Amino acid sequence: MMGGCDYGLRKIMEANWRGRATRPLPQIFECPKCSARMPFSRAELAQIDGSGFESYRLSCRACAVPLAGVVDPYDETLLLSELKE
Ligand SMILES: [Zn+2]
């Protein structure tokens, strides 16, 4: 029996399980501006855009730049770009 200490990770896994049972993530994403790496929880923020892509609005925890992300449907890569405001 495992301890119950990694609640955050479990929560992410459960969210993914509910939302996208066939696509086990979390991923790590890298800020295109400052290269900080952060965990990315896909299920909680998903929106499907007009072209059928999963799109996300994120912000970097390190430099706070707003980011737009799209999941590439072919290889499941998260493609990020800075949002200009
Ligand atoms: Zn950053």
- pLDDT for 84: 81
| Distances from the Cα of 77 to the Cα of 5, 10, 32, 39, 60, angstroms | 29, 22, 14, 14, 18
Measured between alpha carbons, how far is 73 from 53 in angstroms, rounded to an integer?
A: 7
- Centre of ligand 1 from the C-alpha of residue 82, in Å: 9
- Centre of ligand 1 from the C-alpha of residue 3, in Å: 33
Measured between alpha carbons, how far is 51 from 28 in angstroms, rounded to an integer?
A: 24
pLDDT-derived band at 36 (thresholds 50, 70, 90) equals very high
pLDDT in tens, 13-23: 666 555 554 55
- Centre of ligand 1 from the C-alpha of residue 1, in Å: 38
Domain annotation for the chain: domains and CATH numbers? 26-82 (2.20.28)
- Centre of ligand 1 from the C-alpha of residue 31, in Å: 5
CA proximity to 42, closest of 34, 54, 51 = 54
- Centre of ligand 1 from the C-alpha of residue 65, in Å: 6
Give me the percent of the chain exceeding a pLDDT of 90: 20
C-alpha distance across the termini of the chain, in Å: 49
- Centre of ligand 1 from the C-alpha of residue 85, in Å: 15
